[in-house]
A and B are shown apart, each in its own frame.
Chain A
């Protein structure tokens, strides 16, 4: 099992190949060793946005077009018999759809008719939550079960009335699907049962506030309860007879009033919620107090507002501890507690957060640092990750974050697949007590139960301009933990520069610098024509300070034209004495990457055409010009999760 292929060039761009041919081929011999909706308060729900998908009725129902074709035939070629009659394709009045994609693919001279069933079949994930078809959304812990309610189109073919799909789990990894929790069947939600949040009252009762889109497409807030509070499955729901309980207040547009949060308790003993909105281009969060969830008092102050950020969706607001690593119930406050505010920006589809201080008396919040205020500063995740929500898991005393991860391929590919979008692996989320200035996110420990076939690679030396194949049995379902070291002598000798660097605009994995990029190339074909490098790039400024960038480069992730191939990433704090570490979860078309134990995270979607099944490989690479890298890794194959429909 040991030594592996070494290559001196392939990671590099064409421009770089020649220069790098002079590098010595590496001969590392390393042996993988084989070991063998909330507690007193809040909870839930995730929320999130509504997305839906779509799936096509052309074949008379629920068979994706792809199912009708042979595995290896390009799907476009196999559709010769499909006659398209324009005026029949869109039946008036019934075609409705929502999907979320705004691709700007790099257009290269590759044959465009490329997708086969085999390729598309590979893209479906194995240990991430997906609905059987269509879209999903967000979660709660109630009587021992985690509940995930998601935005769902029950009719399959057409996205009409968004309703709440429902699944339950004991461990956040294996799921059992249940019947639809709430239908769009009232005038106040007939155009969609949108995002909501659950709050668990002191007596254990669960109340659900959700946004309905009315028959006039006005966004209103509605109240619902479990029909049987003793049913741990929360199978049936009752909508309150007095709905809607909140309508857009004066000065707020009818379509800018959605996604109520979980409620928390004020010092006066009332419940308080916040709802995202905007006025002109200023994003803001309205605050309401209530005693009974039926009657509300609008506070004169907003929780917070930031000019220029546009509509705030899926606002999330919760406490984090400065003193310990447990999560906090949504109503916690007092010494040693900071408050996090998160908004989902309609304009950019980024989830952004800031850490700050909450004032209970007037219901306002201010950021610790206005230069990184909410909406203009930090992101939860620098890749594809939107409309997330947290909930407090009272049993394990942790706060859990879920986000919705859309597709970045073309709609036509989604039609063939018959599904679109998924949830990320839920993450615990806490304040980074070492930096004090950011959150850290880490996949819930339960995902580790899927690990098997551990392989360890110790102290692998990766010389400048080389790549090293890692000998593992399969590369499509992985959990990877890696740490990288550069010796201090190199760091001190390297010439400093104040040239700016950014993941997205500095040439990606092929731009070589003295101290990077180096990292892992996942879902790589053996010839490297397809690969997704996840890497660090270190810069040294003239004042002697180092910055570390953490990036994921999708630009060569697929030979297909019609997929997004952006480069994502940001800086990551690396404290004195720390090695550079990353963890990567690979599950077919989704890659979730975490730097420095979760200080910076990147989720990406990739759609390779060659690097699939047994042809996918994993490489270590070092594209730095001037630094040896020593890498140590643990790599696990990941079992598939159980999703019972």
Chain B
């Protein structure tokens, strides 16, 4: 049993970790698996927001279409592969696969950002959020190994 506060102290972003967990009443169960699932759900929400943002940007910024399409594919991988794999693995007891999933989410978000070659990425904030939440989730999940 671990409380969110102690758990979050062992992650790269205490504030972010606590802010996500404190919104979910289930975090008080103290089950690290549950904390992991809450964090994975937060990655999922952020990734879904990002996909919606990408779709909006395709309308408003058609000149960025190729980069945006690239990001669509990458976030497809996050939502279709990384997140389901993390949820499955946390639920059924294979935490290292959950770690793999959230670690890959970081890779995909980085790839999306790099597609803009460092300039004027309209997705910087979203990509950064996905990376940060994923890195927090990764550390929490590692506590289950």
Contacts and interface: CB of A to CB of B under 8 A. Distances in A.
Contact of B92 (A77, A109, A191): A191
Contacts of B87: 95-96
Given A87-B48, A415-B77, A561-B111, A103 B92 contact: no
Contacts of B142: 347
B138 to A, nearest CB: 8
Contact of B70 (A76, A109, A160): A76
Please indicate which of the listed interface residues A80, A109, A410, A412 has the most CB atoms of chain B within 10 Å of its own CB. Answer: A412
Nearest to B102: A102
A54 interface: yes
Please indicate which of the listed interface residues A105, A349, A411 has the most CB atoms of chain B within 10 Å of its own CB. Answer: A411
Given A79-B73, A84-B51, A562-B111, A100 B88 contact: no
Interface string A80-109: 101111110110000111111111110101
Given A98-B88, A112-B114, A255-B93, A76 B69 contact: yes
B88 A82 contact: no
Secondary structure call for the A interface = loop
B11 interface: no
Contact of A346 (B49, B65, B73, B145): B145
Contacts of B89: 98
Contacts of B108: 410-412, 562
A624 interface: no
A68 to B, nearest CB: 13
B80 A415 contact: yes
Contacts, number: 160
Interface string B25-67: 0000000000000000000100111011011000000000110
Contacts of B100: 98-102
Contacts of A561: 110-111, 114
Contacts of B77: 410-412, 415
A95 B97 contact: no
Given A113-B66, A191-B92, A84 B145 contact: no
Contacts of A80: 65, 69
Contact of B84 (A82, A84, A96): A96
A84 B54 contact: yes
A569 interface: no
A50 interface: yes
B29 to A, nearest CB: 16
A158 B84 contact: yes
Nearest to A94: B84
A582 interface: no
A231 B43 CA distance: 49
A75 interface: yes
B125 interface: no
Contacts of B91: 217
A79 B68 CA distance: 11
A360 B25 CA distance: 52
A101 B103 contact: yes
B81 A77 contact: no
A225 interface: no
Interface of A: 50-51, 54, 56, 58, 75-77, 79-80, 82-87, 89-90, 95-105, 107, 109, 111-113, 158-160, 191-192, 213, 217, 219, 254-255, 310-311, 346-347, 349, 410-412, 414-415, 561-562
13 contacts: A82-B73, A82-B76, A83-B55, A89-B79, A98-B85, A98-B100, A103-B104, A112-B70, A255-B93, A346-B96, A346-B145, A349-B96, A410-B77
Report, nearest first, the 7 A-B pairs whose CB atoms are least far apart: A97-B85, A95-B84, A86-B48, A96-B88, A255-B93, A412-B77, A102-B103
Interface of B: 44, 47-49, 51-52, 54-55, 65-66, 69-70, 72-85, 87-89, 91-97, 99-101, 103-104, 107-108, 110-111, 114-115, 117, 142, 145
Given A95-B80, A98-B97, 12 more contacts: A56-B81, A89-B79, A90-B80, A97-B82, A105-B110, A191-B92, A191-B93, A411-B82, A411-B108, A412-B73, A412-B77, A562-B110
